[in-house]
Amino acid sequence: MSSRDPLFVTRPTLPPFEEVQPALEKIWQSRLLTNGGPFLQRFEQALAGHLGVAHISLVANATLGTVLAMRQAGITGGEVVTTPFSFVATSHAIRWAGAEPVFADIDPVTLNLDPASAAAAITPRTRAILAVHCFGVPCDTAGLASVARDHGLPLFYDAAHAFGVRDGAESVLSHGDASVLSFHATKVFNTLEGGAVILPDRGAKLALDRLANHGIEDEETIPDLGMNAKMNEISAAIGLAQLPHVSDDIAARAEVARRYWDGLSGVAGIRCLCPPARPGQNHYAFPILVGPDYPWTRGRLIEHLKADGILARRYFYPLISDLPLYRDLPSSAPEGLPVARRAAEEVLCLPIFPDLAKADQARVIDVVRDAFQAP
């Protein structure tokens, strides 16, 4: 990328076109475009092997995958305890599943759902907990599992950001009653649009597959209120072609993260959320928290970056609980959620993607450091 182009917060990675072309030709010849075709079958198997998990259902996107993961577990109403510090799809999925979100506060270190706050938000109407591995940083999975177990609740993970993330020796996707990955264009691994639901057993996987195909069991038997959430054959073929490249992509992201860390971790008032030395990361994002000791406000930093063509983004501001759709819920009260509120005021995601040029990245670091030179 030339330094004259706008520098986006992310850029999709695509496999070399010639590696996808033969698959596209096969799809054109076979005219099998969707509904569980051969590329989907192959991709599903290859992905399970790559991620080290046994039961995967591919879906059209993570939002539908999350709705169906909850429906598959029998959620049709009541309340679901969740984090307000996420992309709006997390709470929208709860509403589409027929339940109401109840917001609990986040942990100040991970910015993920705080188990104690989640426990305090549980009422007799609670049907589940939906946590998010925000920016690919693992949640306190042991703490959340213990809360879920104590209250007899299913625990779901929005793992949209967590492709390939490991938590110790294990895939972070092996926790809970379902984890949902996003393969949207902006993610570490993309199929243009797409997603996957990781489930604990084959029965749950088959139930989710059926829900994603209108609830159809066979031509005459349609027992469930399903929907259309199927991944198509072109997305599956792109996924298959991406898979051999994703480890190199993550390694390239790790180098970008390392350079940000070297350039910014000592800057007064700036906290880098994801120290690159932490093992098992995928470096989906490079979030910084712009604190009171930094000379500029976050807004002023954004303006300075923009003036240099750098389009950093406030993921996630506003809090979901402050959106008109959700702000009248009792758990959205302004005096609640202090940690999430502060994170939303301070967070800024800097550009990160595998082929981010060193010179472009140096510009980002320079602008952040400029605050100490400017009058």
Contact residues toward ligand T4K (CB under 6 A) are: 8-12, 61-63, 86-87, 89-90, 132, 158, 160-161, 182, 184-186, 195, 311, 315
Please state, in angstroms and rounded to a whole number, the distance separating the CA atoms of residues 148 and 152. Answer: 6
For the chain, the straight-line distance linking the first and the last C-alpha, in angstroms and rounded, comes to: 32
Minimal distance, residue 150 CB to ligand T4K, in Å: 26
Minimal distance, residue 192 CB to ligand T4K, in Å: 8
Strand partners, 166: 171
- Three-state DSSP class for residue 173: helix
The pair of three-digit structure tokens given for residue 301, joined into one six-digit string: 């930093």
Which C-beta is closer to ligand T4K: that of 158 or that of 209? Answer: 158
Minimal distance, residue 288 CB to ligand T4K, in Å: 16
301 in Cβ contact with 73 (< 8 Å): no
Which C-beta is closer to ligand T4K: that of 26 or that of 92? Answer: 92
Which C-beta is closer to ligand T4K: that of 14 or that of 365? Answer: 14
Question: In angstroms, what CA-CA distances link 62 with 67, 182, 317?
Answer: 9, 5, 20
Residue partners of 172: CB distance under 8 A and separation at least 6: 133, 138, 141, 157, 159, 162, 165, 166, 179, 280
Please state, in angstroms and rounded to a whole number, the distance separating the CA atoms of residues 227 and 282. Answer: 31
Question: In angstroms, what CA-CA distances link 284 with 136, 161, 179, 270, 279?
Answer: 6, 6, 17, 19, 14
Which C-beta is closer to ligand T4K: that of 90 or that of 171? Answer: 90
Please state, in angstroms and rounded to a whole number, the distance separating the CA atoms of residues 333 and 43. Answer: 44
Minimal distance, residue 295 CB to ligand T4K, in Å: 27
Which C-beta is closer to ligand T4K: that of 257 or that of 267? Answer: 257
Which C-beta is closer to ligand T4K: that of 257 or that of 371? Answer: 257
Minimal distance, residue 223 CB to ligand T4K, in Å: 26
- Between strands 155-158 and 178-182, the pairing is parallel
Minimal distance, residue 12 CB to ligand T4K, in Å: 5
Which C-beta is closer to ligand T4K: that of 195 or that of 276? Answer: 195
Consecutive H or E run containing 213: none
Minimal distance, residue 31 CB to ligand T4K, in Å: 27
Which C-beta is closer to ligand T4K: that of 12 or that of 266? Answer: 12
Minimal distance, residue 310 CB to ligand T4K, in Å: 11
Which C-beta is closer to ligand T4K: that of 48 or that of 185? Answer: 185
Helix and strand element counts for the chain (H, E)? 12, 12
Please state, in angstroms and rounded to a whole number, the distance separating the CA atoms of residues 208 and 204. Answer: 6
Give the side-chain half-sphere CA count within 13 A for 334.
1
Minimal distance, residue 136 CB to ligand T4K, in Å: 10
